[in-house]
Amino acid sequence: MSGTPLPPLSPLAHPASALDELHFAPRLLMGPGPINADPRVLKAMSSQLLGQFDPQFRRMMRETMVLYRQFFETQNDWTLVLDGTARSAIEMVMLSAIEPGDKVLVCSFGRFGQLLNEIAQRCAANVRVVQAPWGTVFDLAQIEAAIKDFSPKLVAVCQGDTSTTMLQPLDGLGALCHRYGAMLQVDATASCGGTPLPVDAWQIDAVTAGLQKCLAGPSGAAPITLSDAMARVIYRRRHIEDGLQPAGYVPGAGQRIASNYMDLAMVMDYWSDAGLNHHTEATTMLYGSRECARIFVQEGLPAAYARHAAASRAVAAGLQGMNLKLYGDQANKMPNVTGVYVPDGVNGDKLRAALLNDFNIEIGTSFGPLAGRVWRIGAMGYNARPDCVLQTLAALEIVLAAEGHRFTRGAGVDAAYGTYKGVVI
C-alpha cells in the first residue's frame, strides 16, 4: 500500500525497564512550561477517589467554579474546568461557538497564534489572520481596521505567546470587538496567573487556560470562563445524547456540534444542576485544578502578580549581566517567560543539554524562525522564587563560560540578586 510513511519509532533499548518503578532524576523546570508543580497540588491529587455524582464531589465542583471566578476576576456563571490540555479548551470553545462558514479573525504574533488559526480552520470557519511580526504585539488600531474590513463573528488572540515571550495588551479589545458585533476569545494558557487578566473589566467573552505554567500544576486540565453572551451562543447548539434524552426533548436551534467529546454545551449540562452524564470526570485532575486556584486565591492576585514581576526583573537583569541580549519588545514582555538571544559562537542546544545533564535544570529553545536562535527562560508558578532564579542563573554562568562566552563571572547572579534586594551589587 502506498501513501504517507508512518513516522519512525525507536525500540526501547532495555524493555525490562518497563517493569521498574518510576524513578526520575530531579529537574528544575525553568523553561516556558511545564514547570514544577506545587507540592500541595500533588498532595491534593493523591486524595481519595470519589464517584462523579457523589454529593461531596459535586460540592467540590461548585467550589472549583467559585475559586476560578475569583482567579479570572469574573462573575461569569460558566466558569469551570475541562478535562484535557489547554489546547483542548481552545478547540472545545471554538468548535462549540463557531458554525461552519462563520467568520473568525485571528490576531497572531507567534507560534500559538498560528495554532488558533489551525484550530479555527479545522472548525470549518472562514478565517482571516492578521499578523504582527514576531517579537512585537498589536495596537488596537491594527485590530480595529481588520475587524471593520472583515466583520468577524469571533476574534481570537493569545494574551501571552511563549514562542516569542510577548504579552498582548487586552484592555479595550473586548469593548472594541463588541462595538462591531464580534465576540472575543483569549488563550491565556501562557500568561494567566502571572499577569492581570480581569475578564469582566476587559469584556472578554471566552478565556481558556492551563495549569502547567503560572498556576503551578500539571498539564491535563483546562480552566475556562464564558460570558453570558458566549454561553448562549454555545447552548443554542445544545444536543442531548440519544441514551439520555428525556420525553419531549427538543434540541437547540443551532447546528449540532460536530464532536461528542468536545461538545461544550453537553459539558455545561454536566456541570449544571441537571448533572447530565457526559464523560467520566478526570477526578484527580479536578482535585489538582481546585488546589491550584485555591493556592492562588489564598496568596492574593496582587501578591502573585508582584512575585512574577520580581522574578522577571531578576531574570532579565541576570541575563544582561552576562552580556546577553534580550529578545523582543521589552515594553510588552511576558513577566513569566524571558527570551534571550543565543550568543555568537555558542551552540544553544549543547548548552541546554549541559544545563540539563550537569545541573538538572531545563530551559527552552523556540520555534520556527527563532529555533536555535533564542532561549526561553521561565520563572513562573511554584518556580517564581529567588532561589530558583538564582540557581538557574548561576548554572547558566558556568556553562556559558565553558562555551567561551565572554562576560564578568558572577555579574549575572549579582545583578539578579540586587533586583530582589533593591540594591546594585
29, part of any domain: no
**133 and 268 fall within a common domain:** yes
pLDDT for 51 equals 96
Q: What angle do CA 121, 369, 161 make, to 5 degrees?
A: 60
* Domain end residue (candidates: 297, 318, 344): 297
Q: How far is CA 52 from the centre of its chain?
A: 26
**Residue 363 sits in the same domain as residue 414:** yes
Number of domains into which the chain is organized: 2
Residue with cell 485571528: 106
Helix (H) or strand (E) holding 61: helix 55-72
Are residues 117 and 56 part of one domain? yes
Question: All 3 cell numbers of residue 32?
Answer: 516556558
Q: Which of 247, 264, 297 is the last residue of a domain?
A: 297
Residues of the chain with pLDDT under 50: none
Asked if the structure places residue 32 within a domain, the reply is no
Residues 261 and 133 in one domain: yes
CB 141 within 8 A of CB 186: no
**6 exposed, middle or buried (CB, 10 Å; 0-12, 13-18, 19+)?**
exposed
Does 333 lie in the same domain as 277? no
Determine, yes or no, domain membership for 246.
Answer: yes
Asked, for residue 106, whether it belongs to a domain, the answer is yes
- Per-residue pLDDT of 293-323, as tens digits, reads 999 999 999 999 999 999 999 999 999 999 9
Side chain identity at residue 329, one-letter code: D
Q: Where do we find the cell 441514551?
A: 243
> Alpha carbon of 419 to those of 308, 313, 388, 425: distances in Å?
13, 7, 14, 9
Read off the CATH number of the domain in which 104 is found: 3.40.640.10
Same domain, 176 and 271: yes
Residue 23 included in any domain: no
Kindly calculate the radius of gyration of the chain based on its CA atoms and give it in whole angstroms: 23
Spell out the residues 6+ positions from residue 294 whose beta carbon is closer than 8 angstroms to its own: 67
Q: What is the largest CA-CA distance in the chain?
A: 77
Q: Is the dihedral of CA 299, 302, 305, 308 positive or negative?
A: negative
Domain with residue 327: its CATH number is 3.90.1150.10
Q: Is the pTM of this model over 0.85?
A: yes
| Same domain flag for 317 and 207 | no
Q: Are 354 and 368 in contact (CB under 8 A)?
A: no
**52 in helix, strand or coil?**
coil
Is residue 111 within 8 A of residue 86, CB to CB? The reply is no
In a domain, 17, yes or no: no
Same-domain status, 238 and 307: no
Does 258 lie in the same domain as 309?
Answer: no
208 shares a domain with 125: yes
Q: Mark whether 94 and 208 lie in a shared domain.
A: yes
Which residue among 297, 317, 342 closes a domain? 297
263 plus 367 within the same structural domain: no
Within-domain flag for 22 = no
Q: 42 vs 149, 247, 253, CA distance in Å?
A: 48, 44, 43
Closest by Cα among 191, 210, 197 to 72:
197
Burial of 420 (0-12, 13-18, 19+ CB in 10 A): middle
The answer as to whether 287 is a domain residue is yes
Write phi, then psi, for 264 (nearest 5 degrees): -70, -30
Q: What is the pLDDT of residues 175-218, one digit of tens each?
A: 999 999 999 999 999 999 999 999 999 999 999 999 999 999 99
Range of the domain at 87: 39-297
- With b for 16 or more beta-carbon neighbours within 10 A and e for fewer, the 374-384 pattern comes to bbbbbbbbbbb
